Structures are given as C-alpha cells and as structure tokens.
Amino acid sequence: MSDGGFDDLRDVRVPRPPMRVIGLAALVIVAIAIVWSSFYTVGPEENGVVLRFGEYVRTTDPGLQFKLPLGIERVYKIPVQRQLKEEFGFQTVRAGVRSQFSTQGRAEEARMLTGDLNAAVVEWVVQYRIVDTYNFLFRVRNVRDTLRFMSEAIMRQVVGDRTVNEVLTVGRQEVASLVEVKLQELCDAYELGLRIDQVVLQDVNPPEPVRGAFNEVNEAQQQRERLINEAQSEYNQVIPRARGTAQQTIQQAEGYKLDRVNRAQGDAERFTELYQAYALAPEVTRKRMYLETLNDILPNVESKIVLDESLQGILPLLDLKSPGTGQTQGGR
Amino acid sequence: MRIALIVAAIVVFIVLANSLYVVNEPEQVIVTQFGEPIGDPIIEPGLKFKTPFIQRVHRFDRRFLEWNGDANELPTRDKRFIWVDTYARWRITDPLLFFQRLRDENGAQSRLDDILDGETRNAIANHDLVEVIRSTNREPVETNLTIEEQTVLEDIETGRLAIQAMILEASQERTEDLGIEILDVRFQRINYVEEVRQRVYERMISERQRIADRFRSEGQGEAQRIRGERDRDLKEIESEAYRTAQTIIGEADAEAARIFAGAYDRSQQTRDFYEFLKTMETFQNTIDQKTSLILSTDGDFTRFLTSPETP
C-alpha cells in the first residue's frame, strides 16, 4: 500500500475483528478450560486421589467429582476394587476360555533350590488389591516391581525350608498359605498399601531333566501297591472260604456228636426197657427171643445142613463152595 | 502503551514461573544458590517460593526406593558356585547429605551396587550353601516315602534370614554417611550355576531311581509276605478245624460209651442179656440167603430134631 497506482484503495479499510470480540473469544476458551478441568469421573472400581499443588488433600469415591481447575488440583485414579495379579514363572499370553500361557523368558523366576539342595520349578500367582491408595502412591516407588521381588524372595525362602518331596506333594498347600501370610507381613512392613488376596501355586515340578525319574518313582509306587493288592486278593480268595470250610467241619462233628449221643441214649433206653421186661421172666424170654431170631433167619438160608453129632468125618466131604457163594457160616 | 503492558505481563509471568514451584507428595527438595544449598530440605508438599533465577531446585524421591542388583556368580564356603540375585529397599533420609555425596539417584544406585554386592559376596563366602537356603531347622513333614528315603534336611546354624540380616547390618554401616538408609536386603533368587546344575540333576535322578527300586522291591517283598501269611493261615484254619472236629467226635464217642456202659454194665444179668441180645442181632444182620448153615444136632435148637426130650 505504498504510493503506487492504488490510490483509490487508500480509503478502503480491511475490516478487522474488534478487540472486544477477541477478548470475548479468549474469555470463552478460558471459561471452557476451567469448567472442563474442574470435574472428573471416578469409575465404579476406582478411587480418586486428589493432590493440590502436589499435596495430598482427599480421596474421592466413584461418580462425578469436582476439583479446582487448571492444574491446581490433580487426580490419580486407583482401581481399588479390581483384583490385580502377578504371575511368576509363566505369563498369560491370551486370557480367555482357553488361556494360553508361555514360560518364555520366565524360566529363571520359577527355578529354585529346596532345603535338601535339590532343584524344583515352581510357578505361582499372587492376587492382590490396593487397599491404601496413599501408601500405594506416595510411600513406595514402583510398587509392582517391589511386589515381584518380595514375592520371589518369600517363595524361595519358604521352599528353601522344605524337602523337594514336600514341595512336590504334601507341602503344596502349606507352601501357598505360608507364602501368603509372609508376603502380607512384608507388604505391611514395606507400606505398599496392598492386600494379598491369595497365593496360588500353579505347576510345581521337578526340573525337566529329572522329571522322568520322578515319574518312575510314581510308577514304582503304583507297582508296589498293585503287587500288594494282588497278593491281598489271593489271600482274600482263599482264607474266608477256608474259614467257612473249617466251620463246616466243626459243625459236622457237632452233628455227629448229637447223633451219636442221642442214638446211644436211645439204644441204652431201649435196652433198659427191654431188660426190665426180661428180668421179670428171664428164662422164657431168652428162649423166645432166641427162637424168634432163628425163625427170622433160618428161612432165608438156602443151604442148611444138620449133622448128627454121632456121624463123624462127614464134614470134609461136603462141597461148601458152590459157584457164586463166597460165604460160609458156621453155627454152633 | 499497550505494548509496554504486554511486556510487563510477560516479565511478571517469567519471574513468577521462576520463583513458584511445586513440591509433590512423594518428593523432597533442596534449594541451592549458585550451587550452595540454602536452608533446610523441604519435605512438606505444596506450592513454594524461591528467589528467581539465582536459586535452583533439586528434587529427590521421598518414597522407599528399590534396588535390584545383577545376579552374581558367587562361591559359598563349601565351594559351591551359585547365582545370587538380591534386592534391597532404601530411601533418601538426608537429601542434603545425599546431594553432596551422591549427587543423584544414579550415583546412589552405583554406590549401592558396590556396597551390597560386596557385602553379599562376603556373607555368601562365609557360609555353607545350606545356610543360605534354609531359614529354620524345621522337621520335614512325612511324605509317602519311607523314612530312609525321605531326604533329610541338614541342620543349620545361621540360616537365610540371619544372613540377610548380616548383609543388611553391614551395608547400613557403610551407607550411614551417604544420607541414605537401607531398610531391607533379601535374596531374590539363588540358583546353581549351569555346571553344578547338571550334576545336581544327575544326583536327583540317581536318588529317584534308588527310591523307585526300593518301592518295587518293597512291593514284591510285601506280596511274598502276604502269600506266606495266606499259606500259614490256611494251614492254621484247616488244622484247627480238624483238631476241634476230632475232639468233638472223641467226646461223642466217649459219651456214647459212657451211656452204653451205664445201661449194659449194671449187673451180671444186664451184661449177659446184652451179650445175648447183641448176638441175636448179629445173627439177624449177618446170616442171609447166601449163608450155608451146618447145624449140629447137639445144638440147643436142633436137639429136638432127634429127640423131643429136654436133656
């Protein structure tokens, strides 16, 4: 706009926005910024920790909350209701119905020495929650790493006081609960502001090269049980039956006894009765019985020979052995 | 006029920005003037003032800090090589001293490396491996293995916790004049070095095989014992039954004999009568169709064949 050929434009004024409008716009922007930065939302599982110029002033509950704007007050949101989890010796690669795990790069975490100077591989999970937001934020730096260090140290301390057999079998539950207690104690001592909900032992194994030998022990143990059971079963097949048979033998003898005694008593009674009758007239009764007996038996005897006492030497001439008859009886 | 106002505002802003500062909750601050510390360290959080431009603010963490050393390969007193990984927890107690001696956290970490690694090395070298691993002399819980195979836990004198405490104490002495305090030192990981590990695995394998052999032989032995027991019990049961039965039979026979004797043996008459009766019965039972009877006329019965007279 110098002295060129544009003199006719000299009077034309480019319309500028008035200062008042600019000021107004700036004011609106500032107002929006103030309003925008003076409230915040705390999620249902969170607590808000509010700092004013870096100084802790209050903790707020879930919901819409207000604060002083423009960076005077700042908010940290801490998920106090959420259960957090640290995995040791493995890593969940993809959680879901069929979670995938990986031990890649985590092998060292799981390797430890037992009290009998053997090696074991222990994988575990620590579930915890933030209960003290102030301690969690302002007492300890790097809470998560600290928790991991502590957890590894405590687990090794507890496992280091047990035999490899204990750790692998009967001691599992005890190890987990002891670690839980000791870890909580250490959390309190370190003022981490955490509560340990649970320590869960996952796979507890002998180291890979030794695993076969451990399985062999299990198999041998099974084998031992099997052999013993088989022998026991043979025993059970035989002995109860033998006991039954023994009872049978004894009962049969008891039966024999009853039979024998009863019969003997019967016979004796019969004899006594008969004798009492006989005693009344012995001579006649005796004769009668004798003759009756002969009367019974003689008709059955086919060959009857009566020898006169005065005829001597006839006996050797008799053919006493007729074919088919093998028996001879002599009488008086 | 307006430009002067704007310039003044900018100047005020710069001066304010340089003299106002925030001490955050987890921080402690010392202020220096030309490198010289001024006043006490500021621990209270909040908005603070300082002389602009000539004073500088140095911030230090007020929280418990972590230290995690590199794993070191160390020999124990019983000459076993192990990897030892420790962690410690420390904090800056005297920021002024800390600032003078260590300048910043990097300096502190590297000094802690020296102190803690050295003390750890000393402590490990002065103790057997088992002392480093175990913390108490607890008795192992009995497992399903037999007592002999139950690997026995060696007794310890010092133990892991005491060794940790030793390292802590020795390190604390050496950090006293550094403005820092070590609160805890622990073994995070202890493991065999690779060569030792292979030998330990071999030992574990042979140990397991020994246990497996024992199980197998135990099973066989126990089975044989049960079989022997079976044979013994069988014989016992059978022979006892035989004995009892024979006793009962004997008793029965004796009882019968007593009964018979009681009936038959009362007088000469009963004895005679019994003999007669039994003879008659025997005749009836023994003389049958096939019997040949040769009777003499001399007999009681046949005598009437020759004569009707009673002799």
pLDDT of residue A324: 45
Among residues B301, B268, B284, B254, the alpha carbon closest in space to that of A275 is found at B268
Mean pLDDT across the stretch B47-53? 80
Q: Are strands B292-296 and A303-307 parallel, antiparallel or unpaired?
A: parallel
Q: Inter-chain contact A260–B252, Cβ cutoff 8 Å?
A: yes
Q: How far is B183 from chain A (nearest CA, A)?
A: 9
Give the count of beta carbons closer than 10 Å to the beta carbon of residue A204.
21
User: Is pLDDT above 70 for B143?
Assistant: no
pLDDT of residue A326: 42
Q: Are B172 and B182 in contact (CB under 8 A)?
A: yes
pLDDT band (50, 70, 90) for residue B168: very high
User: Is pLDDT above 70 for A110?
Assistant: yes
Q: Is A83 on the interface with B (CB under 8 A)?
A: no
Min mean pLDDT across A160-164, A272-276, A320-324 is at A320-324
pLDDT band (50, 70, 90) for residue A248: very high
pLDDT of residue B278: 87
Residues from chain A that touch B192, judged by Cβ atoms under 8 A, are: 113, 119
Q: Are strands A194-205 and A119-130 parallel, antiparallel or unpaired?
A: antiparallel
Q: Is A260 on the interface with B (CB under 8 A)?
A: yes
- CATH hierarchy code of domain B65-192: 3.30.479.30
- Which residue intervals of chain B bear CATH 3.30.479.30? 65-192
Residue A310's contacts (CB-CB under 8 Å, 6 or more residues apart) are none
pLDDT tens per residue, range B170-223? 998 888 888 889 999 999 989 888 888 898 899 889 988 888 898 899 999 999
pLDDT band (50, 70, 90) for residue B147: very low
- Interface mutation vs chain B, best among A275, A285, A298, A314, most B CBs within 10 Å: A275
A59 sits in the region (left: phi over 0; alpha: psi -120 to 50; else beta) called beta
pLDDT tens per residue, range B294-304? 777 776 667 77
User: Is pLDDT above 50 for B110?
Assistant: yes
Higher local confidence (pLDDT), B110 or B37: B110
pLDDT of residue A316: 57
pLDDT of residue A315: 59
Rounded to whole angstroms, the Cα distance separating A305 from B291 reads: 11
User: Is pLDDT above 90 for B29?
Assistant: no
Q: Inter-chain contact B269–A137, Cβ cutoff 8 Å?
A: no
Q: Inter-chain contact B143–A170, Cβ cutoff 8 Å?
A: yes
User: Is pLDDT above 50 for A325?
Assistant: no
Give the count of beta carbons closer than 10 Å to the beta carbon of residue A19.
9
Q: Is A84 on the interface with B (CB under 8 A)?
A: no
CA A78 → CA A42, A128, A184, B266, distances in Å?
Answer: 9, 14, 20, 117
Q: Exposed (0-12), middle (13-18) or buried (19+): which is A187, by Cβ within 10 Å?
A: buried
User: Is pLDDT above 80 for B307?
Assistant: no
- Transcribe A236-287 into DSSP letters: HHHHHHHHHHHHHHHHHHHHHHHHHHHHHHHHHHHHHHHHHHHHHSHHHHHH
pTM for this structure? Answer: 0.70
pLDDT of residue A97: 67
Q: What is the mean pLDDT of chain A?
A: 82
Q: How far is A186 from chain B (nearest CA, A)?
A: 10
Q: Is A18 on the interface with B (CB under 8 A)?
A: no
Q: Inter-chain contact A228–B219, Cβ cutoff 8 Å?
A: yes
Residue A52: strand pairing partners: A55, A73
pLDDT tens per residue, range B235-287? 999 999 999 999 999 999 999 999 988 888 888 888 888 888 888 888 888 88
Q: What is the mean pLDDT of chain B?
A: 85
- Most confident stretch, A192-196, A261-265, B18-22, B76-80: A261-265
pLDDT of residue A6: 54
Q: Is A320 on the interface with B (CB under 8 A)?
A: yes
- Interface mutation vs chain B, best among A68, A141, A179, A317, most B CBs within 10 Å: A141
How far is C-alpha B30 from the geometric centre of its chain's CA atoms? Answer: 54
pLDDT of residue B36: 80
Among residues B154, B290, B179, B305, the alpha carbon closest in space to that of A300 is found at B290
pLDDT of residue A312: 61
Higher local confidence (pLDDT), B257 or B292: B257
pLDDT of residue A327: 43
User: Is pLDDT above 60 for B24?
Assistant: yes
- CATH hierarchy code of domain A84-206: 3.30.479.30
What three-state secondary structure class fits A298?
A: helix
User: Is pLDDT above 60 for B149?
Assistant: no
User: Is pLDDT above 80 for B18?
Assistant: yes
User: Is pLDDT above 70 for A2?
Assistant: no
pLDDT of residue A313: 61
What three-state secondary structure class fits B146?
A: coil
Percent of chain A with pLDDT over 90: 20
Q: Are B67 and B89 in contact (CB under 8 A)?
A: yes
pLDDT of residue A3: 46
The tokens for B22 are: 């925030």
The tokens for B205 are: 């394998």
User: Is pLDDT above 70 for B142?
Assistant: no
The tokens for A183 are: 């870890």
Rounded to whole angstroms, the Cα distance separating A83 from A85 reads: 7
User: Is pLDDT above 70 for B116?
Assistant: yes
Among residues B98, B109, B117, the alpha carbon closest in space to that of B178 is found at B98
Domain definitions of chain A by residue range: 17-78, 84-206
Q: b/e for B169-207, b at 16 or more Cβ within 10 A?
A: ebbbebbeebbbebebbbbbbbbbeeebbeebbeebbeb
Give the count of beta carbons closer than 10 Å to the beta carbon of residue A35.
10
pLDDT band (50, 70, 90) for residue B226: very high
